[in-house]
A = this chain, B = another copy of it.
Amino acid sequence: MTDQRDPESGPARDPKADRWRTVPEATVARLAVYLRALTTLADQGIVTVSSDELATAAGVNSAKLRKDLSHLGSYGTRGVGYEVGILTEEISRVLGLTQHRAVALVGIGNLGHALAGYGGFASRGFRIAALFDADPTRVGEPIAGLRVRHVSDLGEVVRTEAVSIGVIATPAGAAQDVCDRLVAAGVTSILNFAPAVLSVPGNVDVRKVDLAVELQILSFHEQRKASAGGSAGNLEEVG
């Protein structure tokens, strides 16, 4: 067991800040949302924000927001609220965004193209470091300032570019193979857009985004609404 001190992102100032080691999964997902809301507020020149205001901006209730933030320590001032700048920095640090991570994108089809050109990554601390595709006719194609490389170069590039996250946007059939290559190259975090279940070693995290699944969930609720007897009336505003 090594001692857990990490260079970068200096060791926690005081003992209580160690709490972020045990942030609940559900909270982590929301921290990213809070971060976006904070960025918006900062752009508007807002310096201080209460849990109520921030919660509204993020689409949650204030109790949940405060409990979430309490997992990373005590960065608010009672009677006042949170300082936008400080909170932004703190969340960024907990999410590991202070070190800008390199991302490799595999599969330059329709979706891959869109992801490569998506500005939201760069603006939030992620650098797309390399693009890969299995189709030789696509190799060399310039996209968003990068050239598409062949998947056979994946291992080498991942190492030289210090890629820490892999994004799979290939057809389902190719996903597991690509995944294996990423893992072999040392990538331990994968975002999978392919409609396939990936098999990975236990130390690798996989998150899945399936666009059709999202629609199907909506379809379910749509159907439930339609058949539940249209008890109209409840039109209260939702955060």
Task: Please encode chain A, from 37 to 48, with 1 for each CB lying within 8 Å of some chain B CB and 0 for all others.
Answer: 100000000000
Copies of this protein in the assembly total 2
Q: Which of A5, A31, A217 has the most CB of B within 10 A?
A: A217
Q: Smallest Cβ distance from A168 to chain B, in angstroms?
A: 12
> Is there an interface contact between B5 and A230, defined as CB atoms closer than 8 Å?
yes
Please tell me if the beta carbons of B4 and A227 are within 8 angstroms of each other in the complex.
yes
Q: Given the interface contacts A37-B197, A188-B225, does A216 sit within 8 Å of B120 by beta carbon?
A: no
The residue that A222 contacts in the complex, of B32, B110, B164, with Cβ under 8 A, is B164
Contacts of A227 in B (CB 8 A): 4-6, 9, 11
Stretch at the interface among A129-137, A153-161, A199-207: A199-207
A202 touches B234 (CB 8 A): yes
Contact A230 B4 (CB under 8 A): yes
The answer, among B113, B164, B203, B219, for a CB contact under 8 Å with A165, is B219
Does A236 have its Cβ within 8 Å of any Cβ on chain B? Answer: yes
Main SS of chain A's interface residues? mixed
Q: CB within 8 Å of B: which of A103-122?
A: 103, 110-111, 113-115, 117-118, 120-121
Nearest B residue (CB) for A201:
B235
Number of A residues with CB within 8 Å of any CB on chain B: 87
Question: Given A9-B223, A225-B188, A216 and B97 touching (CB < 8 A)?
Answer: yes
- Which A residues are within 8 Å of any B CB, using their own CB? 1-6, 9, 11, 21, 23, 28-29, 31-33, 35-37, 57-59, 94-97, 99, 101, 103, 110-111, 113-115, 117-118, 120-121, 123-126, 164-165, 167, 188-191, 195, 197, 199-203, 205, 207, 209-232, 234-239
25 pairs from A and B in contact (CB 8 Å cutoff): A1-B232, A4-B229, A9-B226, A9-B227, A11-B227, A32-B216, A33-B197, A36-B210, A36-B212, A36-B213, A95-B216, A96-B223, A110-B113, A110-B118, A111-B118, A113-B114, A120-B212, A124-B212, A125-B216, A165-B219, A190-B218, A191-B215, A205-B218, A207-B218, A209-B211
